[in-house]
Amino acid sequence: MEESHQHLIQEINPIFGQIGHIFILTAFVTAIFAAYMYFRSVQTPHPDRKVYFSKLGRGFFIGHAIALLSVVVTMFIMIFNHHFEYHYVWSHSSADLRMKYILSCFWEGQEGSFLLWTFWHVVLGLFVIRLAKEWEKPVMSIVSLVQVFLLTFVLGIYFGDFHVGSSPFLLLKDKLTTDPVFLFNDYMRFIPDGRGLNALLQNYWMVIHPPVLFLGFASITIPFAFALSGLWLGKYTEWIKPALPYALFSGMVLGTGILMGGAWAYESLSFGGFWAWDPVENASLIPWLVIVAGLHTMVVAKSTGHALRSSYVLVFLAFFFVLYSSFLTRSGILGDTSVHAFVEEGLTNHLLIFVGTFVLLAFIPLFRHWRKIPHAEKEEPTSSREFWMFVGSLVLLFSGLHVIFFTSIPVFGALADLVNRIFGTSLNTDLAPPEDPIHFYTGVQMWVGILIALLSAFGQFFKYRFSSAKLVLRQLAYWIVLSVIATIITSLLLDKIWHTTADRKIFHLVTSYTIIIFSGWFSIIANTAYVFSVLKGRIRVAGGSVAHIGFALLLLGILISNAGQRVISVNNFGVQFDGEGMDDTFQRENVRLLKNVPLPLQDYQVTYLGDTVIAGATYFDLQFQKFDAETGELLQDFTVHPYLLMDNKMQQLAPNPDTRHFLTYDVFTHVTSLPGDGSKNAAPQISSDSIAVGDTLSFDTGIMVLREVNRVGGKDTIGASAIFDVRIGRATETLKVNYLIDMQKGTVSQGTTASTLGNVQIHFDAILTEQNKFVFTIEDRSLNTDWIVIKSIIFPMINLVWLGVVVMAIGFFISMMHRRKEGRKSIQTSSE
């Protein structure tokens, strides 16, 4: 803890940046060559030249992989060793950052997340090289090309004022050239620490969500490349079999990654939920909806020859939406509409070029080959599996388009602005997205969920080409009846635990709930029945059914946890509630708890016990007790610890909720307010003193006794190391703080050390040698915590959401393995 703060005069090591930059350039150039060589290997008619070029291409790609890996390793070394002379390290990490969050630093910034994307492409590319046989050449050519474009974002090459990309290896000095601190040669002594990782990202979900999400995004490139290769080679149908496992992989990973983001939001934001229809969330959802639609049409195309052209369109769209979502998130165009919005200057045009290029590269050949692509003359018969699967894909596509249309409203505003400027018109540029995104999107998407659940329930009971609708209905009859019974039972049960539901605004009619519950049950029951009665229990080929069950569980979980969520901390105490302008939709959801004074909050008696400070975070201990209404027996007794995290500069307080998980519901609590915290931050108390060994410094919550001061020094340095015994409450610790003079450079380092017991810092200002005294400054930012304000919510059956995601992922996985086996058999039997 203390060592990390005591930087001696920080060396400026330009070597890392130089090496790193060379690696990036190498990766860039090798990607270009790989793309070109693979391209030649496809275009050349001679078989031995084909082999020659593809070997070269492969070699270059592997070189590219090594270079990129080296970039990643270099960056980690820089972050790990706290090289704050580099802008990226300074901007996203700090000396006291816990080891487990080092990974998060890597992708907190634009450059890092681009690198993460390219890293996954390399991993996937290596799989393609190993497994794709003759498809390797065209697919890898395309993948390498995508890498080239992605790397332009981190090149950091400057032509005067204009620059291509932003390199993560820039020195702080080179990026913030005008800051006066750089007038000194040894400016690092003014910069002992980085800005640190955003407090909200210091959470284990943020360590795993971005890489999984980006793997999901990157994985869509592969089916895209296969589809485009199909056009390129004129092999309009053969690409589907090998591409299908990759598309299923995308569905599995991207879906999981998206909901991990939801889990993060639920665990660490005080929003109270896992999906807010925030534009950035929406942008990541669309590619998933479209690739799932696409993989269904691919399955149809594989089995019947219908929907081949739709498969091209959907797979191309899925990739387009990955690029478009990157554009939305990174260009800053979302501006006012999203709390996530990242703003980066100059990126917009670069992103537009990236998106535009691939739109042209994909859709122009598609137009040109459109008529040559095999397509059935007649439409699918209604009474067939392919018809209903196609309908399902359409519903998914529609769902995606609905979300992206309204999420893109700021883009329309910007476009209108552009049109105005070019043509002098005066279109309204001030468009705002829907006022209440949650109600708005849920209103429509709920029906999407219902349709998908229903379609995925009965669709499989149709055979390809034709099934008698009457027969199918008879098969389903049992399951329909069973589902109705299950729905009734569930509704009655839910009615009991819902009492008054907080948010009936979303679903106006009880009928909507019932339809959703029925759809969910029907999907679960019918799919299970399908596995056992039709597939005879062979799970290996039941991936689709398993995934459909997972989706249905997810749907039920979303309904019940959302519609049934109940605020426990309803404030009916004391205060006059005749606030003007209020109507009864305004919920009073925050309650103030005095220390050690229990309050009855709906089902629970809640007591604020006090707070504990551990490593810069203040944890608030809240005891929840449930007593039996009649007997008074203690039924439940647990404590939650929502906390406020101090970022390392002790300026930002990020509130983190704490959730107690039970099997059938969660109790979610977070702190909304503290004394002295209302409209101003807790003002620090700063005091300076000159003391001798044995003296005591006191501050608001404790004392520090100067135990000893030792002389320290080396070849060129001389100084003192002060050791304090700190006591806060009943806890004690030892702190060391140094004062060092560099004789050779003539500079002084005044150390600062923070206590891990409380929000207190001590600074070694000076040594008064004649009096044998030392000067210290204490900065005390401890919080007054006599009372806190909390909000607490019960989420029923939210575990169904997580269960649903897991089951859905398992379903995708089973399918992927099954299709891979199918694909391998077909490649062996097909001839070059």
Partner 1 sequence: MLFLIAISIALFASKLSNVSSYSSYEDASAKEGKTVQLIGVLDKSQPVDYDPVKDPNSFSFHLLDRDQKQVHVVCYDDMPRDFEKSDEIVLTGKMKENTFYADEMLVKCPSKYQENEITK
Among 503, 589, 695, 700, binds partner 1 (CB under 8 A): 589
Q: Is 452 in the site for partner 1 (CB under 8 A)?
A: no
Q: Which is nearer to partner 1, 411 or 807 (CB)?
A: 411
Q: In whole angstroms, what is the distance from residue 697 CA to residue 500 CA?
A: 55
The CA angle 720-724-728, to the nearest 5 degrees, is 155
Give the residue ranges of DSSP H helices in 204-346: 204-219, 221-233, 240-268, 279-304, 308-331
End-to-end CA distance of the chain: 63
Q: In whole angstroms, what is the distance from residue 554 CA to residue 543 CA?
A: 16
Q: Which is nearer to partner 1, 37 or 653 (CB)?
A: 653
Q: Is 694 in the site for partner 1 (CB under 8 A)?
A: no
Among 174, 186, 267, 344, binds partner 1 (CB under 8 A): 344
Q: In whole angstroms, what is the distance from residue 9 CA to residue 184 CA?
A: 13
Which of the stretches 419-427, 479-487, 589-597, 606-614 binds partner 1 when contact is defined by CB under 8 A? Answer: 589-597
**DSSP-derived pairing of the beta strands 162-164 and 157-159:** antiparallel
CB of 200 to partner 1, least distance (A): 10
Among 654, 720, 793, 809, binds partner 1 (CB under 8 A): 654
Q: What b/e readout covers 54-87, taking b as 16+ CB neighbours within 10 angstroms?
A: bebbbebbbbbbebbebbbebbeebbeebbbbbb
CB of 434 to partner 1, least distance (A): 5
**DSSP-derived pairing of the beta strands 599-601 and 604-614:** antiparallel
- Neighbour-count burial of 744, counting CB atoms closer than 10 A to its CB (0-12 exposed, 13-18 middle, 19+ buried): exposed
Name the one residue in this structure whose structure tokens are 């944890």: 619
Among 409, 506, 693, 767, binds partner 1 (CB under 8 A): 409
Among 77, 353, 418, 582, binds partner 1 (CB under 8 A): 582
Q: In whole angstroms, what is the distance from residue 476 CA to residue 785 CA?
A: 61
Q: Is 172 in the site for partner 1 (CB under 8 A)?
A: yes
Q: In whole angstroms, what is the distance from residue 401 CA to residue 475 CA?
A: 34
Give the contact letters, 34-73, x = binds to partner 1 (CB under 8 A), - = no.
----------------------------------------
Q: Is 431 in the site for partner 1 (CB under 8 A)?
A: yes
3-state secondary structure at position 153: coil
3-state secondary structure at position 604: strand
CB of 189 to partner 1, least distance (A): 12
Q: Which is nearer to partner 1, 62 or 401 (CB)?
A: 401
- Neighbour-count burial of 682, counting CB atoms closer than 10 A to its CB (0-12 exposed, 13-18 middle, 19+ buried): middle
The CA distances from residue 124 to 119, 144, 165, 217, 220, in Å, are: 9, 11, 24, 11, 10
| C-beta separation of 608 from 622 below 8 A | yes
Q: Is 342 in the site for partner 1 (CB under 8 A)?
A: yes
Q: In whole angstroms, what is the distance from residue 409 CA to residue 433 CA?
A: 6
Q: Which is nearer to partner 1, 496 or 680 (CB)?
A: 680
Q: Is 377 in the site for partner 1 (CB under 8 A)?
A: no
Q: Is 588 in the site for partner 1 (CB under 8 A)?
A: yes
CB of 588 to partner 1, least distance (A): 4
CA 47, 820, 293, 441 dihedral sign is negative
Q: In whole angstroms, what is the distance from residue 198 CA to residue 214 CA?
A: 20
CB of 651 to partner 1, least distance (A): 9
CB of 601 to partner 1, least distance (A): 13
Q: Which is nearer to partner 1, 296 or 592 (CB)?
A: 592
> Could you say which residues in the range 91-120 bind partner 1, by CB under 8 A?
91
Name the one residue in this structure whose structure tokens are 């485009």: 228
Residues 6+ apart with CB under 8 A from 796: 494, 497, 498, 560, 561, 564, 565, 566, 664, 665
Q: Which is nearer to partner 1, 199 or 220 (CB)?
A: 199
Q: Which is nearer to partner 1, 528 or 672 (CB)?
A: 672
Give the contact letters, 765-794, x = binds to partner 1 (CB under 8 A), - = no.
----------------------x-x-x---
> Could you say which residues in the range 271-310 bind partner 1, by CB under 8 A?
none
Distance of CA 331 to the CA centre of its chain: 18
Q: Is 350 in the site for partner 1 (CB under 8 A)?
A: no
Neighbour count for residue 589 (Cβ, 10 Å): 17
Q: Which is nearer to partner 1, 247 or 570 (CB)?
A: 570
Q: Is 597 in the site for partner 1 (CB under 8 A)?
A: no
Q: Is 191 in the site for partner 1 (CB under 8 A)?
A: yes
Q: Is 379 in the site for partner 1 (CB under 8 A)?
A: yes
CB of 395 to partner 1, least distance (A): 8
Which of the stretches 36-44, 168-176, 517-525, 685-693 binds partner 1 when contact is defined by CB under 8 A? Answer: 168-176
Q: Which is nearer to partner 1, 276 or 667 (CB)?
A: 276
Q: Is 653 in the site for partner 1 (CB under 8 A)?
A: yes
Which of the stretches 152-160, 490-498, 536-544, 573-581 binds partner 1 when contact is defined by CB under 8 A? Answer: 573-581
Question: Contacts with partner 1: how many residues (CB under 8 A)?
Answer: 63
Q: Rounded to 10 degrees, what is the CA torsion of 170, 171, 176, 179?
A: -170
Q: Is 179 in the site for partner 1 (CB under 8 A)?
A: yes
Among 13, 43, 152, 198, binds partner 1 (CB under 8 A): 198
Q: Is 673 in the site for partner 1 (CB under 8 A)?
A: yes
Q: What b/e readout covers 457-480, taking b as 16+ CB neighbours within 10 angstroms?
A: bbbbbbeeeebeeeebeebbeebb
| C-beta separation of 147 from 60 below 8 A | no
Q: Which is nearer to partner 1, 175 or 504 (CB)?
A: 175
Q: Which is nearer to partner 1, 87 or 727 (CB)?
A: 87
| C-beta separation of 163 from 344 below 8 A | no
The H-or-E segment that residue 487 falls in is helix 469-498
Give the residue ranges of DSSP H helices in 572-723: none
Q: Is 352 in the site for partner 1 (CB under 8 A)?
A: no
3-state secondary structure at position 2: coil
Q: Which is nearer to partner 1, 629 or 683 (CB)?
A: 683
Q: In whole angstroms, what is the distance from residue 734 CA to residue 725 CA?
A: 5
DSSP-assigned beta bridge partners for residue 595: 608
CB of 122 to partner 1, least distance (A): 27
| C-beta separation of 728 from 757 below 8 A | yes
Which of the stretches 581-589, 629-637, 727-735, 740-748 binds partner 1 when contact is defined by CB under 8 A? Answer: 581-589
Among 161, 377, 578, 580, binds partner 1 (CB under 8 A): 580
Q: Which is nearer to partner 1, 175 or 375 (CB)?
A: 175
Q: Catalog residues that contact partner 1 under the rule CB under 8 A.
A: 87, 91, 172, 175-176, 179, 181, 190-191, 195, 198, 336-337, 339, 341-344, 379, 391, 394, 398, 402, 405-406, 409, 428, 430-436, 440, 444, 571, 575, 579-582, 585-586, 588-592, 649, 652-655, 672-673, 678-681, 787, 789, 791
